[in-house]
Amino acid sequence: MPVERFKSKEKYRKSLAYRHIHGIPMTAEKVCIKGRCHKVQHSKNAKRRKIDAAQRKKVARKRG
């Protein structure tokens, strides 16, 4: 069971954000923050959903 260790909750959240932006899945089932371990469950489909040009235009029109 993989464990990832972080010095603060902020560092953990930054790591999650970085992985989300770059499409890197989070594989740890346990996360330790300041020595306290927490059981976590991450999305099974961590990769970003790619949309085609037609959908992108549709979304752009909705936004204004």
Concatenated DSSP letters of 7-39:
SSHHHHHHHHHHHHHHTPPP--SEEEETTEEEE
Q: Is 57 helix (H, G, I), strand (E, B) or coil?
A: helix
Query: In the beta sheet, which residues pair with residue 30?
Result: 3, 39
Q: Is 2 helix (H, G, I), strand (E, B) or coil?
A: coil
pLDDT string in tens for the chain (64-residue length):
688 899 999 999 999 888 888 878 777 888 999 999 988 887 665 455 566 677 777 777 877 6
Reported pTM: 0.60
The set of residues, in sequence order, having a beta carbon less than 8 Å from that of 1 and lying 6+ positions away, is 29, 30
